[in-house]
Amino acid sequence: DSGVTQTPKHLITATGQRVTLRCSPRSGDLSVYWYQQSLDQGLQFLIQYYNGEERAKGNILERFSAQQFPDLHSELNLSSLELGDSALYFCASSVGHTGVNTEAFFGQGTRLTVV
């Protein structure tokens, strides 16, 4: 158990809908990262928050947004869902900034299926 909690584990929704994925980082971790794992794109970085502020942005669509709350949990909001958004969404957390002698710990992911 990595200590990173993601809910829900599975989500099935229809095209055009909006969903919210939730992530609770490990105790003490200030950085939260969101990744998308799809069959055609592999694992891709979406966005990072550090202590409530957006820190880095990757290949995140404009239909997607995220935030990190004062208690450090994070939510990823996906709207106007398309079939191609079906993927496994991972949250990760780290104490500091990834790539500076730290590593990220990953949750078990939320599997989103858009029908």
Partner 1 sequence: AQSVTQLDSHVSVSEGTPVLLRCNYSSSYSPSLFWYVQHPNKGLQLLLKYTSAATLVKGINGFEAEFKKSETSFHLTKPSAHMSDAAEYFCVVSDEPGTYKYIFGTGTRLKVLA
Is residue 17 within 8 A of residue 35, CB to CB? The reply is no
Tokens of residue 71, six digits: 């208690």
Q: Is 54 in the site for partner 1 (CB under 8 A)?
A: no
Q: What whole-number distance in Å separates Cα of residue 8 and Cα of residue 42? A: 21
90 contacts partner 1 (rule: CB under 8 A): yes
Binding of residue 89 to partner 1 (CB under 8 A): no
Place of tokens 């799809």: 38
Size of the site for partner 1 (CB under 8 A): 28
For 106, the token pair is: 């990953």
Among 21, 104, 112, 114, binds partner 1 (CB under 8 A): 104
Q: Can you give the binding site for partner 1, defined by CB under 8 A?
A: 2, 4, 31, 33, 35, 42-45, 48, 50, 55-56, 58, 90, 92, 97-101, 103-109
